[in-house]
C-alpha cells in the first residue's frame, strides 16, 4: 500500500497561485492512478482532476480546465497540483488519492488518501 502526504496549502489572495504537492511512500507511485479532490466547508467532496500511472492522460472537470494543472514525477514519488488565478470559491481542503485502477472522478475508486491541505483564497 501507499501513504500520501499533501503539502503546499496556505492563504492566497484572489488571482494568486499555489502549487500543492503529494508525496508518496511505501509502494511505488507508478503503481497507482492519482487523483485530486477538494472539500469546502458544508459541501461534498469534489473531483479536481486525475492523472494516469505514467501521466499519459489527465482529466479535469470542465469547471477547472485552464486554471488547474496536474503533473507527476514517479521517480520522485510526487504528484503536483498547480492552481492559478485562484478564486474564493476554490477555498477548501485539498486531498490527493491513489487508485489501484484507472483514475476516475469517483472518490470510491480510490483506496488511499492523504490527510489534506488547507487552501484559503481571500477576496
Q: Tell me: the pLDDT tens digits for 20-43?
A: 999 999 989 999 999 999 999 999
Secondary structure of residue 30 in the 3-state scheme: helix
Q: Which residues pair with 118 in a beta bridge?
A: 93
The confidence band for 119, taking pLDDT boundaries of 50, 70 and 90, is very high
User: Could you tell me if 46 and 62 are in contact, meaning their C-beta atoms sit under 8 angstroms apart?
Assistant: no
Report how far residue 83's alpha carbon sits from residue 90's, in angstroms, rounded to the nearest whole number: 9
For cell 497561485, name the residue: 17
Report how far residue 77's alpha carbon sits from residue 90's, in angstroms, rounded to the nearest whole number: 26
Could you report the per-residue pLDDT of 40-97, keeping only the tens digit for each?
999 999 999 999 999 999 999 999 988 999 999 999 999 999 999 999 999 999 999 9
Query: What sign for the dihedral angle of Cα 63, 73, 45, 118?
Result: negative
Range 12-26 average pLDDT: 97
For cell 485552464, name the residue: 66
Cell of 12: 492566497
Instruction: Provide the pLDDT for residue 65.
Output: 83
Cβ neighbours for 71, distance < 8 A, ≥ 6 positions apart = 51, 55, 79, 80, 82
Report how far residue 51's alpha carbon sits from residue 34's, in angstroms, rounded to the nearest whole number: 5
Q: Is 109 left (phi over 0), alpha (psi -120 to 50) or beta?
A: alpha
Amino acid at each position: 500500500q501507499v501513504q500520501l502526504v499533501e503539502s503546499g496549502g496556505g492563504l492566497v489572495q484572489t488571482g494568486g497561485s499555489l502549487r500543492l504537492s503529494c508525496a508518496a511512500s511505501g509502494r511505488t507511485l507508478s503503481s497507482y492512478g492519482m487523483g485530486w479532490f477538494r472539500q469546502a466547508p458544508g459541501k461534498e467532496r469534489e473531483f479536481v482532476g486525475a492523472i494516469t500511472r505514467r501521466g499519459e492522460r489527465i482529466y479535469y472537470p470542465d469547471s477547472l480546465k485552464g486554471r488547474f494543472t496536474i503533473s507527476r514525477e514517479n521517480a520522485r514519488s510526487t504528484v503536483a497540483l498547480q492552481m492559478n488565478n485562484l478564486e474564493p470559491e476554490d477555498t477548501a481542503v485539498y486531498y490527493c488519492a491513489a487508485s489501484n485502477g484507472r483514475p476516475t472522478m469517483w472518490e470510491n475508486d480510490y483506496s488511499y488518501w492523504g490527510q489534506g491541505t488547507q487552501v484559503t483564497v481571500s477576496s
